[in-house]
Amino acid sequence: MFSPYCNNNLNNIVNIKRPVYLTYSFINHWIQIRKKSSVISNKVEVSSTGIFTDETQFRALEKSVTPLCRMPYEKQLFLKQQWTNTVCKELRSRLHNAKTLIRLPKVFPISSSPQINEYRNKDEFNFRPGIDGNPKTLGFFVSNPTNENIYCVSAMKLINMKQSHKDIAQVFEAFVRKSELPASYDHMDGGFWRGIIVRSNLKGDKMAIVVANPRGYTNEIMLDEQRRFNDYLKSINIDIQSLYFHPSLHTRSSKDSTFILVDGDKYIYEDLSSFKFRISPDSFFQINTLAAEVLYNELFKLINLTKTSTLLDLCSGTGTVSILGSQHVQSCVGIESVAQAVNDAKETAKINNIHNCDFIEGKVEMVLKQVLDELSMTSDLCAVLNPGRAGVHPKVINAIRNNRLINTLAYVSCKADSPITMKNLVELVVNNKKSRPFTLNSIKPVDMFPHTKHCELIFMFKR
């Protein structure tokens, strides 16, 4: 699942049925929160007359992807601090309903992002008809329930995206509009062009991944289109360090792992806290590099690792937590389900001359118990759980609770109010007869996603 604040598909669909507010109401938002016992909603009201225009389409997209962008950054941080408090109270309420009494954890002040504009290092753009009817409009989706149509809107005015990403998307749209092959909105519609993913690092190196639907098209056609787009880029002097072609038979491209290098380097590299990380087309890396440095610095302050500790890095992605934590501990073990991300983590360890990290491919819920059995002689086992916004399988929580060696756990969440994440947090603390519960000591918010209503929360558990 993908959202504008996580590193996946950003094609949010905006419901613009309600006619009304031209500004985000900061005060009324929190009045409504006080009236509710559930975790706050991420639903955004947008202005609409029922008819899209050149201006209102961009405003509708802005309201969805960057709803706080017209608010001073200090107020954005205040809102997110209050949201953190609301999450804390909701967790206490759920534990009370589960007949588990807890004291409220300490909520630390939110840490700001060093960069608030053009901070995203990965963006995904897809095709749909624009408001002018052009079937090859590239961007993000908005919907109008009055006529049940979905339109595509260019991302050119979104301030959280790098201009270089927008420029590549615009060039790709121009190329596809000249192509005889149709755009694909669904994997069974007979279209070919689906979209493009753009990644970049702080130095400005760029990776572009063209996503296409190969169903019904020969290898010869696909190879010809790859060559034509590469030639087109060179003819207009667009500098891309790594160009990939990604044929995907599924609506969700993440189900396919075929990435064909068309031109340039296989990887780009990012510097994070003095370490060099290798990035592949489909590997996970935090969306805001400079804010990620803040996040991990705060994490290691809270978890208080020592040279006798073993760090268990769950949902490890490209191994960021393990690589950064390796200097503080005896050893690290990372578990990640994406094979290429595991390969990137291993290579990153080699590049940085790190020898105390081991990375295991597999779903955490499938391999964690075995890994914990192998670590049974460890004297100080600290775990960091950093899942996607949907949280983790209950088996992961059970395995952590049932292991007597894990007495320190950091749960890092980019969407703490999702139902599964909230359930994970409750199940770590709730009393039961099978295992000893954790105590939630503190919550630390870090703003990874300026101009959105979301931030990262670090939940520190002890027992």
Contact (CB, 8 A) for 241 and 229: no
Sign of the torsion angle spanned by Cα atoms 317, 195, 181, 232? negative
Catalytic residue selected from 315, 332, 357, 414 = 414
Q: Residue 332 catalytic?
A: no
Binding-site annotation, residues for S-adenosyl-L-methionine: 286, 336, 386
User: Interhelix angle for 364-374 vs 394-402, to 10°?
Assistant: 10
d(CA 24, CA 456): 22
**Type and span of the H or E element at 33:** helix 26-34
Per-residue tokens: 340: 């290429």
CB atoms within 10 A of CB 174: 13
Angle at CA 58, nearest 5°, toward 56 and 62? 115
Please enumerate, by residue number, every residue annotated as part of a binding site. Answer: 286, 336, 386
- Please compute Rg for the chain using Cα positions: 23
Residue of 394, 402, 429 whose CA lies nearest to 88: 429
C-alpha 176: how far from chain center: 28
48-to-15, 17, 26, 56, 451 alpha-carbon distances in Å: 10, 7, 20, 7, 21
What is the CA angle 187-193-198, rounded to 5? 110
Active-site positions read 414
